[in-house]
Every structure is written in C-alpha cells, then in structure tokens.
Amino acid sequence: MTTNSQSQSQQYQSQSRRNRAHLSQFNTTQIHLRNPFVVTFWSLMSPGLGYFMQDRTLKAFVTVIWGIFINVKAQINLAIVYSFTGRFDLAKSVVDKRWFILYLAVYVYGIWDGYRGTVDLNKQYRLADLEDAKLQTFNIASWDINFMDKRSPWVAVMWSAFMPGLGYLYLHKVVSGLFMIGWSIIVLYMSHALEAIHLTLICRFPEAKAALDTEWLLYLPATYAFAMMDCYIDAVENNKLFEKEQSQFLREEYPIAGFKMPRLSQE
C-alpha cells in the first residue's frame, strides 16, 4: 500500500516542473504567498518558528530544539525577565557568555534565512501557479489517510488555543502537531503554569506567583500565539488549494464553453 502511495505521489511530481503541494500520509506540505516580514518577525521571536511557517519541517525541528537547549544553557530568558523588571545588573550577571555567543550566530541566521527563504518561495509559487500543475487529492498508506478537503480556520484556531499542536492535527500536519504538543507539554510542566492556574482559581495568589518558573513561562506566549496564527493561515491556504483542484477538474472534464449540465426530467 505504501509503495502504491509513493508511486502515485511520484506520478504527480513527474508531470510538472514545479508543484504547489505534496500530500503524504503524515503531512500536507504546500507553498503559497507569504509575507517575508511576518516570517522574519516569528524568526525573531524564537528560532525555528519561521521555518514552521515555510513548511520546512526538518529545519524547524532542529532549530527549535537547538534554540531551546542553548537558551536554557545561556539563561537568556531569565536575563530577559530580569531586564523587564528593571534588574539590569542581575540580567547581565546571569547570562553565560560562552553559550550566548554560540546562540547569537544561528539566531541571526534564522532571521536572515526566514526573510530570504520566503522571498524565494514566493517566486517559486508564482511560477508553479502559472504552470498550474495537477494537484494530488488523496493519499492512503499503511499508517494514515490524507485527503484534500475544506477545513474551518476558526476551528483550527480553537484547538490551537486549547493546546498548541491540536490545530496542526486537525489540518493533518501530524508530525508538526505531535512535535508542538510535546514541546507545549514540556513548557507547561517546567513552568508550573497549570499549577499556578489551579492556585489562582482557588484564590491563593501569592502561592501561584511563587510556583511559576518565569524562565520557562516566557516560552508560552509565543508558542500559543504562533500556533493559532499559523494554523489559521494553513487552513485558509488549504481551502484555496482545494478550490484550485476543483477548478482544474472542471476545466479538464467540461472544457467546452457551451456545455450544458444534465438536468433531471421535469416529469
């Protein structure tokens, strides 16, 4: 079954020079027009998020894991927390300069590559759209089934608000979804955010404040905001892709302008 799925995918790819989308059993990958400055902004917020927006999954995973590891070692988030509270001398003293300099090079590269890569992908998309290659609509394999369908952007946002990663699963981006869920669980656990929410609900505010680990808590706003925004955009673009495929099908099957659709007899 997997072999048939792969051969079907290769058949679609061999028919054109550039493809707008690829459906595998675990993922739906596509190129579409993106704002380079938006991708640059998320690359600035956290290394790897820009690559998630570009659907460059392997780069995203490696860069995110690398960024988290170096950030913790260099205590960059802790220094940011101290800076926000006006304790600049303390912020300066907690940063491990050896790890920070190592962090800086890849961080700047991610920002630059986020902008450059988005500009290049936009060019590739325009060429692929002009070519109007046939789109793959269905993929069935041993582990999962993937198909092109319309999905609600706001439902994707809702699930991402409950837990980052669920919106990706709704859009059948299984690998990205599982990675984001795992990352969110780690952050929620290490930051004691759920414990602080529980203490806040029972009005034990000083204990809730004391329970929080602000160094890890600083990851949460970007994680939640990015997951909701990216899933919304992905859902919108998937719906556009679905409509493009329908348009292709109708043009191929009913090419004559004067063709009249059959109707049921009035009898």
DSSP character string of 68-99: HHHHHHHTHHHHHHHHHTT-HHHHHHH--HHH
Give the pLDDT confidence of 129-183 residue by residue, as tens digits: 888 878 888 888 888 888 888 899 999 999 999 999 999 999 989 999 999 999 9
Q: CB within 8 A of 130, min separation 6: which ones?
A: none
pLDDT score, position 18: 80
Compute φ and ψ for 49, nearest 5 degrees.
Answer: -65, -35
pTM given for the model: 0.82
CA distance 20 to 188: 36
Taking only the tens of pLDDT, the chain with its 267 residues reads 455 555 555 555 556 778 888 888 888 888 889 999 999 999 998 888 999 999 898 889 999 899 888 888 888 888 888 888 888 888 888 888 888 888 888 889 999 999 999 999 999 989 888 888 788 888 888 888 888 888 999 999 999 999 999 999 999 899 999 999 999 999 999 988 888 989 889 888 888 888 888 888 888 888 999 999 999 999 999 999 888 888 888 777 776 666 666 665 554
Whether residue 194 is contained in a domain is answered as: yes
CB-based contact 140:3 (threshold 8 Å): no
Whether residue 262 is contained in a domain is answered as: no
| Alpha-carbon dihedral sign for residues 168, 29, 111, 106 | positive
Whether residue 161 is contained in a domain is answered as: yes
* Long-range contacts from 191-197, C-beta under 8 angstroms, 24+ separation: 191/215, 191/216, 191/217, 191/219, 191/220, 193/217, 193/220
Whether residue 258 is contained in a domain is answered as: no
pLDDT score, position 4: 52
Q: How many domains does the chain have?
A: 1
Range of the domain at 140: 10-253
pLDDT score, position 12: 52
Whether residue 2 is contained in a domain is answered as: no
Count the residues in the chain: 267
Whether residue 181 is contained in a domain is answered as: yes
pLDDT score, position 7: 53
CB-based contact 21:30 (threshold 8 Å): yes
CA distance 100 to 43: 17
252 CA to centre of own chain:
33
pLDDT score, position 227: 92
Whether residue 143 is contained in a domain is answered as: yes
In whole angstroms, how large is the CA radius of gyration of the chain? 23
Query: What residues pair up with 30 in beta bridges, in sequence order?
Result: 21
Q: Is 203 exposed, middle or buried (0-12, 13-18, 19+ CB in 10 A)?
A: exposed
Whether residue 81 is contained in a domain is answered as: yes
